[in-house]
Structure 1
Amino acid sequence: MKFSQPYQPLLLRILHGLTGLFLVAAILTAFWTYNTFDGRWGKLPLPYYSDIEGLHGAFGLFTLLIFPLFVLYAFHRGQKKLLQPDFLVKLNQVNKPIWWYTLNRFSNTLIILSLTFAVFSGKMMDEKWLPNGELNRFWYYAHLVSWVIIIGCIALHLLLNAKVGGLPLLLSMLNWRFRAKDSPALWSTHIANWWSWRRSTQLNLKSISLLTVLEMLVLISIASAWIISLFKEF
């Protein structure tokens, strides 16, 4: 079967789609939460909903649950779409195709880092702060900044993907057809093969790449967010 659109692996489309869906819902409810309890920098006439912060937290939690899987996929199977070691050299080739592809890879990487900042700062907050009028908390400001950053990163991500691949690339993420090698029946085999390869690969500090460092930073941040939030409960 021929595909008129660029082909995207099924697992990527599922993880990307779920992460994007929960993230957009979290962004919308984040603004509604700010609009309800704060509004110092402008607000809209949205209806009052006392449990809006809980709804925002639920979407944030869904994002946090699926995000680590997306990170593992992006930094391994999808690493060619992320920042490459020679990105500084390629950025010198202004307006050439490789320049746009490099910017696109940079935006793909940046949105992962910005989402990490958003979920981490969100986990550091207490859901009672805003209803109690505690609006000057450091982590509340950090969380607000994280949403501004991530909205900018999403806009950049969409614009650069449209530039390098046009509408067919954007629509390819919504196409549910998949090739035989991407069948969900084979996922357990692929994961087992990948895990076996990872265990057989020795970690060499001299050969650690930038992507490896970023992956470790993201995963450690996510794990820390869970651990710190659990300690806060006690």
Structure 2
Amino acid sequence: MSRTKPYQPSLLRFLHGINALLVIAALISGFWVYDTFDQRFGKIPLPRINAIIDYHGTIGLTFFLFSPLFLIYSLWLGRKKLIQNNTIANLTQVGKPIWWATLQRCTNTLMIVAIVFAAGTGKLMDETWLPQGQLFHVAYSFHLIAWATMLICLALHLLMSAKVGGVPLLLSILSFRVRPDDHPKLWIKQLRDRN
């Protein structure tokens, strides 16, 4: 893969793009829910929208239903971009390119853990708790932690991707260019013939 013009598989771009939009929407709407109903750790002056909890729940449900597709892709075809058997050995080579690439794999893996954590704790929530002022449920506390974890992991994921591949790597995930051997008609074959 060329450092100046990296190419990301179209299936990855499709799944990653939808997942990224859902994550960002969940982070924004989740903060808005917190800002509307909780505010224990501070607030910003967002307009009060009581139905924001329903919007966040809809985004969360969509995320919960869609994220397994991205997780399967990541663990199946994208496994080389996650933690490997040689991760600990590579992390001892501080400052070398393999060290940075390994850190990126670690942040990719952490992002997947954050996705599972956020989706799982979200399913434990009851949408009536916050409007009723019930802020001390264990599931809600874990979901707040999941929100913060997701935000930190997303920032690390972007920073490490920028460090390892620069702007070309970041832009390659947004590209609409599709090679003939990577057409969406071939996605099932790609999954069958994983290498």
TM-score (norm 2): 0.95
2:114 and 2:150 in contact (8 A); partners too: yes
Letter in 1 for 2:190: H
Matched, 1:70 2:70: yes
* Helix, strand or coil at the partner of 1:130: coil
Matched, 1:137 2:137: yes
Q: Following TM superposition, by how much is the alpha carbon of 1:76 offset from its aligned partner in structure 2, in angstroms?
A: 1.3
Q: Which structure has the bigger radius of gyration?
A: 1
Matched, 1:185 2:185: yes
Equivalent in the alignment of 2:159: 159
1:90–1:189 distance in 2 versus 1, CA, 3 Å: closer
Number of residue pairs matched by the alignment: 193
1:153–1:3 distance in 2 versus 1, CA, 3 Å: closer
Equivalent in the alignment of 1:59: 59
Which structure has more relative contact order (CA 8 Å, sep 6+)? It is 2
Letter in 2 for 1:104: Q
What does 1:43-122 align with in structure 2 at a 5 Å threshold? Answer: 43-122=43-122
2:3 and 2:165 in contact (8 A); partners too: no
Unpaired stretches in structure 1, ≥5 consecutive residues:
198-234
Equivalent in the alignment of 1:148: 148
Q: Following TM superposition, by how much is the alpha carbon of 1:55 offset from its aligned partner in structure 2, in angstroms?
A: 0.3
1:190–1:161 distance in 2 versus 1, CA, 3 Å: closer
How well do the aligned residues superpose, as a CA RMSD in angstroms? 1.5
Q: Following TM superposition, by how much is the alpha carbon of 1:43 offset from its aligned partner in structure 2, in angstroms?
A: 0.5
* Helix, strand or coil at the partner of 1:174: coil
1:13–1:136 distance in 2 versus 1, CA, 3 Å: same
Letter in 1 for 2:180: A
Q: Following TM superposition, by how much is the alpha carbon of 1:142 offset from its aligned partner in structure 2, in angstroms?
A: 0.4
Q: Following TM superposition, by how much is the alpha carbon of 1:110 offset from its aligned partner in structure 2, in angstroms?
A: 0.4
Deviations 1:152-176 (A, max 9, x none): 1111111111001000000000101
Equivalent in the alignment of 2:172: 172
TM-score (norm 1): 0.79
Q: Structure 1 segments of 4 or more deviating over 6 A?
A: none
2:7 and 2:172 in contact (8 A); partners too: yes
Query: Identical aligned pairs, as a percentage?
Result: 49
* Helix, strand or coil at the partner of 2:128: coil
Letter in 2 for 1:171: L
Q: Following TM superposition, by how much is the alpha carbon of 1:26 offset from its aligned partner in structure 2, in angstroms?
A: 0.6
